[in-house]
Amino acid sequence: MAHGDVSAAEWAAIVEYFDGRCAYCLRVLAEDEVTQDHVIALVRGGTHTPDNVVPCCGRCNSRKHSKLVLAMVNVRVQCHIKTSSGPTASGPPSSS
């Protein structure tokens, strides 16, 4: 499955680091409200390690995922258009 692991102690330290708040809306969350969210989604090559996991409320968790996917698609499309337009920005070599 996922690479890496986050122990209960590490997770507790992460939540404490974020002051017990959601990493996105910064709301103080109840213990049973906190979910683990991957900064870099596992499907994008992220790891299930302490440096890639942040506390997140259920609302932001579901919101962010759809947003991120859409943003990702847009970026990919833009990059593809840019790179496929040809290397005209580098300028022609001047020889006279």
For Zn ion, the binding residues (CB under 5 A) are 22, 24-25, 57, 60
In the block, tokens 């986050």 appear at 6
Q: What is the smallest separation between the CB atom of 69 and Zn ion, expressed in angstroms?
A: 18
Given a contact cutoff of 8 angstroms between Cβ atoms, the answer to whether 52 and 92 are in contact is no
Q: What is the smallest separation between the CB atom of 8 and Zn ion, expressed in angstroms?
A: 22
DSSP 65: H
Given a contact cutoff of 8 angstroms between Cβ atoms, the answer to whether 21 and 28 are in contact is yes
Q: What is the smallest separation between the CB atom of 65 and Zn ion, expressed in angstroms?
A: 12
In the bound state with Zn ion, the residue whose beta carbon lies nearer, of 45 and 61, is 61
Given a contact cutoff of 8 angstroms between Cβ atoms, the answer to whether 42 and 48 are in contact is yes
In the bound state with Zn ion, the residue whose beta carbon lies nearer, of 53 and 60, is 60
